[in-house]
C-alpha cells in the first residue's frame, strides 16, 4: 500500500512537471498574448504617459519625444550587435515609410555606448537597411524611465495622447507592428 501511494504521488508529480515544461516550451516560441494595452504579458495602465526624453542624435541633433505630440510614435531600443534587432529594422523602416503621412513616426534608440566604431556601424546599417527615421544614443535616464530594459529589441508604441499603448519585448514581424500601429492611428 505504501509503495503504491509513493508510485501514485511520483506519477502525479511527473505528469505535472511534464505538462508545465511543455507549456513553457510552447510559450517560448509563441508571441505573448495580446492584451487591451498591447502585446506585453502585463497590461500597461491607460494613464501611463510616455516619459519625454532629450537624446543626442547620431548626427549631433537633439531628439525629443515631445517634438512628436499628436502622432503615433514607435520607440525602438536596439543595438548593432543584436541579430533580432537587425532582422526587424527593415520592417520598421518600411512601416514608417508607408505610414509617415498618416501621423506615424519612429525613433530608434541605440542601446550601445557612443563610440566612433559603433557610429560607423549605425551609419552603415542606416544606409544599408534604408532606415529613414531619427536615431539617438541612449542615456541612463531613458533606460530608467522606460525600464527595466532587460533585453533588446524592446519597442514601445505611443498613442496620439502620449500614452504607452504597446510594449513589445523581443523581435516581431512587420504584420504585428503594422496591426498595432494601425489600431492606434484609427483610434
**pLDDT one-digit tens code per residue, 100-110:** 999 999 999 99
Closest CA to 169 of 150, 183, 184, 182: 150
- Segments in the chain forming alpha helices (H): 2-29, 83-99, 116-129, 140-146, 174-185
pLDDT by residue, tens only, the chain of 187 residues: 544 433 333 333 333 332 222 222 233 333 443 333 344 444 444 458 899 999 999 899 999 999 999 999 999 999 999 999 999 999 999 999 999 999 999 999 999 888 888 889 989 999 899 898 999 999 888 888 888 888 899 999 999 999 999 999 999 999 999 999 999 998 7
Distances (CA, A) of 66 to 40, 92, 151, 160, 161: 24, 21, 25, 11, 11
Other C-beta atoms closer than 10 Å to the C-beta of 123 total 14
State the cell numbers at 136: 539617438
pTM of the model: 0.73
Per DSSP, the chain holds a count of helices (H) and strands (E) of 5, 7
Closest CA to 164 of 53, 14, 28, 84: 53
pLDDT score at 5: 37
**pLDDT one-digit tens code per residue, 129-150:** 989 899 999 988 888 888 888 8
Amino acid at each position: 500500500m505504501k509503495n503504491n501511494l509513493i508510485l501514485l504521488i511520483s506519477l502525479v508529480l511527473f505528469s505535472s512537471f511534464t505538462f508545465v515544461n511543455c507549456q513553457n516550451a510552447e510559450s517560448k516560441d509563441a508571441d505573448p498574448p495580446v492584451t487591451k494595452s498591447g502585446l506585453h504579458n502585463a497590461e500597461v495602465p491607460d494613464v501611463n504617459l510616455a516619459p519625454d526624453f532629450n537624446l543626442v542624435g547620431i548626427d549631433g541633433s537633439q531628439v525629443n519625444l515631445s517634438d512628436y505630440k499628436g502622432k503615433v510614435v514607435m520607440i525602438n531600443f536596439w543595438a548593432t550587435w543584436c541579430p533580432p534587432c537587425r532582422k526587424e529594422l527593415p520592417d520598421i523602416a518600411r512601416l514608417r515609410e508607408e505610414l509617415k503621412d498618416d501621423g506615424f513616426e519612429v525613433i530608434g534608440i541605440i542601446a550601445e555606448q557612443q563610440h566612433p566604431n559603433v557610429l560607423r556601424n549605425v551609419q552603415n546599417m542606416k544606409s544599408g537597411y534604408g532606415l529613414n527615421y531619427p536615431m539617438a544614443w541612449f542615456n541612463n535616464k531613458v533606460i530608467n524611465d522606460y525600464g527595466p530594459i532587460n533585453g533588446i529589441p524592446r519597442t514601445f508604441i505611443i498613442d496620439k495622447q502620449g500614452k504607452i499603448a504597446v510594449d513589445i519585448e523581443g523581435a516581431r514581424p512587420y504584420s504585428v507592428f503594422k496591426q498595432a500601429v494601425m489600431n492606434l492611428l484609427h483610434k
